Each structure stands twice: as structure tokens, then as C-alpha cells.
Amino acid sequence: MFEHTFDILQIVFADIILSGDNALVIGMAAAGLSPELRKKAIFMGMALAAGLRIFFAAIATYLLALPGILFFGGLLLAWVCWRFFNEIRYHLAESAEEALKQAGYQGSPRRQMWNAMVTITIADVSMSIDNVVAVAAIARDNTALLVMGLALAIAFMAFFATMIMKIMSKYIWLSWLGLLFLVYLAADMLHDGWPEMAALLGLGGA
């Protein structure tokens, strides 16, 4: 098991960063709600994110069998890197945490709750896929590592995501370090996935 120590550390770090980022998006979407609805939206958002990770973890082996999935996953992760970069650059983690302390929106509760949950659901689906793809990129053909990484992702999202978001907003260097790691992971996936993608596109030569 010791030969996989570095892979395990990478998986843990990826899970932490992506769980915190997911919680940030949920917090930003819920910040405009009244305090009562805000707590409900955050709880529902976290539960949905954990549930989606379970779902995508269950079908991970099927996803990984799709032709070109590694390259596509690299593109998906590259988009996450760009969005994460903008979040750090504009200090959105601090803004979200501050907004969550405010009184909130006092307009139509049903409409605002619906809008917030649509935003949260779209983000949860996207980032759950990202999390599974990132773990799979590190684990590759090691099923035990894949299962462990996805179980950790679910645990982080279900129990520690809000705490991770607060730590990331307090220690901004952790976010930058996480971004560098995700960029490395995306580049590695694009590099390793390109030969298969080139073959699918008929660019592999004779």
C-alpha cells in the first residue's frame, strides 16, 4: 500500500479542494435568500452534492470505459481550473462567507428558493462529475484507490465541505495551491488522453 501513498495524498487533496469549491458555489447561490430559506437551501445543496457523488461513483467504471473519456475529463477539469481561478482572483470565497452573514433577500420566497436551487443543482451535477473524473485520473486502473477516493469525496462533501470552504477563504494560499494541483491534473489527463482521442478523430495516422 505504501507505493500508492503519493496517489492517496493526491486524491485526498483533490477531494478537499473540490468539496470546498462546491460548498462555495452553494453558499454563493444561497446568500441572497432569507436566513430561514438559506439554511434549507445549503442543507439541500450539500445533500444533493453528496448524493450525486454516490450516483456518479456507482457508474464510474462505466464512464471510464467510454472512448476518449480521459481527454474529455481533462477539458472538463480545465474549465474548473478557469472558474476556480476567477473565484480566487475576485475573492469570491470571502464574499460568499460575508454574504451568508447578512439578512438576506426579503422578496418572493418561493421564486428565490427555486432560482437558488436551480443554480445549486447545475453546479452540483457539474462538480460531482469533476470530482469523480479527478479521482479516476489519479487512481487510473486501481479499483481500490478509486473506491477509496470516491468514498472520501462523499464524506468530505457530506460532513466537512462548509468547514473546508471557510479554511480556504481564510488561508488563500491553499486555494492557489489547489488550483496549481488541478491544472497539473488537467494537463496530465489531456496529455494521456490525447492518443485515444486522436485515434477516434482519425488523426492517428495509418
pLDDT in tens, 2-52: 567 888 888 888 888 888 888 888 887 777 777 778 888 888 998 898 888
Residue 1 above 60 pLDDT?
no
pLDDT tens track for 52-108: 888 888 887 777 777 887 788 788 888 888 877 887 777 666 665 665 566 554 555
137: closest CA among 89, 71, 203? Answer: 71
Distance separating alpha carbons of residues 86 and 80, to the nearest angstrom: 10
Q: What is the pLDDT of residue 206?
A: 41
Please check whether residue 77 is in contact with residue 192, taking contact to mean a CB–CB distance below 8 angstroms: no
Distance separating alpha carbons of residues 46 and 57, to the nearest angstrom: 16
Please check whether residue 134 is in contact with residue 185, taking contact to mean a CB–CB distance below 8 angstroms: yes
170 or 42, which is more confident?
42
Torsion over CA: 25, 44, 167, 185 (sign): negative
Using a cut of 0.85, tell me whether the model's pTM lies above it. Answer: no
91 or 203, which is more confident?
203
Q: Where are the domains of the chain?
A: 15-200
Question: Is 81 strand, coil or helix?
Answer: helix
Distance separating alpha carbons of residues 144 and 77, to the nearest angstrom: 23
77: closest CA among 196, 191, 195? Answer: 191
60: closest CA among 7, 149, 132, 137? Answer: 132
Residue recorded with cell 468514498: 151
